[in-house]
Amino acid sequence: MKVLATAAAVLAASMAGVAAAGTSSLSFGSTVIDGFGTLGKYSGSIDWTHTSGAGSGTLTVTLKNLATTASGGKLTGFVFNGPLQGLSYALSTKPNAAWSKTSSNENAAPFGSYTVGAALGGNFLGGGNPNNGLGIGSEFSFDFTVSGNSSILDALSASSFWTSSDGNPAFVARFRGFAGGGSDKSPAAALQVVPVPLPVGLAAAGLIGAIALRRRTKA
């Protein structure tokens, strides 16, 4: 039976405020990310899919660049905290060859370091020509294959991929190529969870199908 869980990051300052809204793991659900930096803005969703007993699962990060047309700016990377012990991550779906998985100790100053992510050249802060990033209005679903012992994967939940370290936000996106050479680092600023009733076999299949349809770039 497929197990689908979703989660998103919030600013450390807003963690207490959203706790009452229910940020615990869900067997089925939908989570929306809203990221607002000074220049870089985005929306998206996070999905975790795993078959019980299997040696791998899929973590899907869908992001849409909502920066204003006047400012320009490409979304060139993102990072978050996922568990590392006994697990490996591979970026299996990406917009183009310029994207790579970031390191397991990726510098996202001033927000500290993060264990998982993707960016141009695998470098959150730099990474080469920003024109290879997601343009304004573009959306893409990044798939990470998470591999490891099935007992470890079976124990993962939505909250397993979202931890805040030292008061830093659990998810940050990088924008570069703004007018005048500007750039931005934009943490997720809102969390909305919409659960789906359990058990609902047909509804679950519909959710998984909807996720599959999202896995493409939308210009």
**What is the 3-class SS of 127-142, one letter each residue?**
CCCHHHCECCCCEEEE
Mean pLDDT of 25-53: 71
pLDDT number for residue 165: 78
Q: Is residue 133 part of a domain?
A: yes
pLDDT number for residue 69: 80
- Give the residue, 14 or 51, on which the prediction is more confident: 51
Residue 9 has pLDDT above 60, yes or no: no
Write the secondary structure of 6-41 as one string of H (helix), E (strand) and C (coil): CCCCCCHHHHHHHHCCCCCCCCCEEEEEEEECCCCE
In this structure, which amino acid lies at residue 158?
A
pLDDT number for residue 32: 59
Q: Is residue 101 part of a domain?
A: yes
> DSSP state, 72?
E
d(CA 124, CA 122): 6
pLDDT number for residue 33: 65
d(CA 190, CA 202): 29
pLDDT number for residue 144: 96
Q: Is residue 88 part of a domain?
A: yes
**Residues in contact with 67: Cβ distance below 8 Å, sequence separation at least 6, in sequence order:** 39, 40, 41, 42, 73, 75, 136, 175, 178
pLDDT number for residue 132: 96
Mean pLDDT of 17-45: 55
Helix (H) or strand (E) holding 195: strand 184-195
Helix (H) or strand (E) holding 69: none
Q: Is residue 89 part of a domain?
A: yes
- Give the residue, 51 or 205, on which the prediction is more confident: 51
pLDDT number for residue 93: 96
- Domain residues for the domain of 63 are 2-214
Q: Is residue 219 part of a domain?
A: no
Q: With cut-offs at 50, 70 and 90, classify the pLDDT of residue 129.
A: very high
The tally of domains found in the chain comes to: 1
d(CA 134, CA 174): 11
Half-sphere exposure at residue 61, Cβ-oriented, CA atoms within 13 angstroms = 30
Flag the least confident range among 44-48, 160-164, 182-186, 212-216: 212-216
Residue among 135, 114, 137 nearest 125 (CA): 114
Mean pLDDT of 41-45: 88
162 contacts 18 by C-beta, under 8 angstroms: no
| Pair of tokens at residue 136 | 């304004």
Q: What is the pLDDT of residues 151-206, one digit of tens each?
A: 999 988 777 777 787 889 889 999 999 988 889 999 985 455 544 444 433 343 44
Q: What is the pLDDT of residues 54-110, one digit of tens each?
A: 999 999 999 999 998 888 899 999 999 999 989 999 999 999 999 999 999 999 999
pLDDT number for residue 72: 87
